[in-house]
Structure 1
């Protein structure tokens, strides 16, 4: 593992976050803030975060997904519908820099926990509302989960473009992309507060966030008014854009520049393709990705996976083995960079944790504590992480 700088805490040290979010989007965002040094107090309802039951577990309520989303947090159980617990929430919010919640804004307002109420008490508060849909549109108030947002944002349609049915991407992409958006919006608001001295209210809607994410490349001809062609990015939507079958397995392969394509054709012994004017330049290839990738697929079937890896090893042509989760756990690069850490949880035993991927030269993030056990009716600091 690479040596870490010493004598410095993460870049968000000193920031206090009151996290009243559950499931994926909010907890993913607040874990990132916690990794970067923020003090995160996770507020759970009496029944606990629903993700406590997701994935395998040693003890009930400590599922793998929950463990992977809630390190570097303190915890407390509070029922906002009860007057005494609500007062404790208000007290915590009075001392917070950031408040994050995925509870519907109308419900929080009825409880006296809306943005206006909390910011009236604490004008420097950054109040973050993680919602399914923008609250000034007709979808406001609809329930929103990852599958629903994948369907509504165009992602499921795009994923199924080359089959007879739409399909979900095999990760909670909507939750995580929206969570990342929330995680970068909060430090922006904190930075602005340093100049103005004032807090503000943030709204991060999953639907709009994922539509913006999807349309970066897939707006296509609809980028113009009137449209100059259909929607979609042809290269990405080609039915032949996928891991290529070798004679004994699969390989990922993506010559991209003119020079890489010419080098690949010559290495593969495909002189006729090297001379094909359709494939000579990026502009020419843009009009025939289906044909190009179909030809590439046919060429790749002629050698074994290892033969291709040997042939392409020093050719500066993007390529890779197809790695599964077990291979990632033993990957030599990830081992060299210290990406996986074996840590001791006080109740769940030895865990394999992903390290903080972003590196700061002076103020590195770190894993200081692991996901809290069932939260008590007072703020609980989880025991410091111990390396196994």
Structure 2
């Protein structure tokens, strides 16, 4: 078994980052993920550097361990092929708006009639019981909608987004978790079900656990926002020759740090003796740390604080992280040969399993690379595949249909 989800058939009708990140997590765990793409392909095929058209870095990182099937759902043959696949799949995941799925004849009741054991999981902008139900949604919009730029502004000035597809990836993780739990429920009951993972509500849950703060109580007993996290001084500390990330947090951490810093008297100061007291003086403590760290080199601080068991790391860039001694020891980064893209650096599967160890099975696929072989695996006859290829309902990569069919056989 190449991963705990080996043998689970997943049809992935998502695009961009959120859904493909969810299906990546499932694919890395062994699921057989068939990426259903339009003739134009996933938009991320064109995002970032690329050696060949349609194979950008963004796409490469989000779509390994998957197979690409191109179906034009505006064509009867393409939609019919997808419905045939649904009848023998375990999971259908989508990011189209539910109304669009309904127009395609792929609403939950439609697919449940085809396959009552199917897990039908949608991740889209907003929960369908609210007034925003039909609105489109993207990562930046979700960050703004739950207040993330305002939280950042308390640190650094004007509101700004986090420099990552933060909401997309968080909601993608929630989607993969939901699918895994629905599969577990099916193992116990034999029943599939529909699951909705709305971005707005999911990301709000992620952010407000920290920042609802005083508004947790009714009426509020303080402002919103966790002060320590929003402090402008909460940042990597400059040293004599670089920056370090440090978390001096517990009572014992602070006592040891005051000794190392040559300020042992501060350990007896009631303003700094307990966590609640330090929270009231967090800004001055951050300023103190900033001044102290500038007095020594990064390596010297690493040696001193590691010996004192105070959490510290040297700050990396994405480039210097490639040479991090720990990442090298656990082989997180590896260079592999892609059949068309040459040498590419891949990101490792972070978890370690004592059994059912996940594997890198497929490189990120070219558009329509697996159309013919997958359709045949899902039970379409040779003449049905040929007909779909002829009328444009299905499209294969570069080889002509007869060669693809012979290869699949």
Identify the TM-score tier after normalising by the shorter chain: over 0.9
**Partner residue in 1 for 2:254:** 261
Q: Using the alignment, how far apart are the partners of 1:263 and 1:378 within structure 2?
A: 61
**Counterpart among 180, 201, 205 of residue 208 in structure 1:** 201
Structure 1 residues 3-152: aligned runs within 5 Å: 8-152=1-145
Q: Using the alignment, how far apart are the partners of 2:35 and 2:172 within structure 1?
A: 16
Q: CA deviation at 1:197?
A: 1.1
Equivalent residues, number: 375
- Residue 219 of structure 2 is aligned to residue 226 of structure 1: yes
Spell out, residue by residue over 1:326-356, the C-alpha distance to the aligned partner (whole angstroms, 9 max, x if none): 1111111111111112111111111111111
Spell out, residue by residue over 1:28-65, the C-alpha distance to the aligned partner (whole angstroms, 9 max, x if none): 11111111111111100011000000110110000000
**Counterpart among 272, 282, 290 of residue 297 in structure 1:** 290
Q: CA deviation at 1:377?
A: 8.1
Q: Using the alignment, how far apart are the partners of 1:356 and 1:310 within structure 2?
A: 30
Instruction: Report if the CA contact (8 A) 1:244-1:297 is conserved.
Output: yes
Instruction: Report if the CA contact (8 A) 1:129-1:203 is conserved.
Output: yes
Structure with greater proportional helix content: 2
**Counterpart among 312, 337, 341 of residue 319 in structure 1:** 312
Q: Using the alignment, how far apart are the partners of 1:98 and 1:375 within structure 2?
A: 20
Q: Using the alignment, how far apart are the partners of 1:46 and 1:78 within structure 2?
A: 7
Q: Using the alignment, how far apart are the partners of 2:167 and 2:323 within structure 1?
A: 28
**Partner residue in 1 for 2:384:** none
Q: Using the alignment, how far apart are the partners of 2:306 and 2:13 within structure 1?
A: 49
Spell out, residue by residue over 1:290-349, the C-alpha distance to the aligned partner (whole angstroms, 9 max, x if none): 121112212222223233223223110111111111111111111111111211111111
Structure 1 residues 138-177: aligned runs within 5 Å: 138-177=131-170
Q: Using the alignment, how far apart are the partners of 2:336 and 2:154 within structure 1?
A: 42
Runs of 4+ in 1 over 6 A off after TM superposition: none
Instruction: Report if the CA contact (8 A) 2:322-2:333 is conserved.
Output: yes
Q: Using the alignment, how far apart are the partners of 2:363 and 2:7 within structure 1?
A: 19
Tell me the SS of whatever aligns to 2:244. strand
Q: TM-score, normalised by structure 2?
A: 0.89
**Partner residue in 2 for 1:288:** 281
Instruction: Report if the CA contact (8 A) 1:72-1:370 is conserved.
Output: yes
Structure 1 residues 333-348: aligned runs within 5 Å: 333-348=326-341
Instruction: Report if the CA contact (8 A) 2:155-2:233 is conserved.
Output: no
**Partner residue in 2 for 1:4:** none
Q: CA deviation at 1:172?
A: 0.3
List alignment gaps of at least 5 residues for structure 2.
375-396, 398-409
Given the superposition, is the C-alpha separation of residues 313 and 164 from structure 1 closer, same or farther in structure 2, using an over 3 Å criterion? closer
Instruction: Report if the CA contact (8 A) 1:75-1:379 is conserved.
Output: no
Q: CA deviation at 1:128?
A: 0.7
Q: TM-score, normalised by structure 1?
A: 0.94
Tell me the SS of whatever aligns to 2:228. helix
Larger displacement relative to structure 2 (300-309 or 223-232): 300-309
Instruction: Report if the CA contact (8 A) 1:133-1:142 is conserved.
Output: yes
Q: CA deviation at 1:261?
A: 0.3
Tell me the SS of whatever aligns to 2:33. strand
**Partner residue in 2 for 1:386:** none
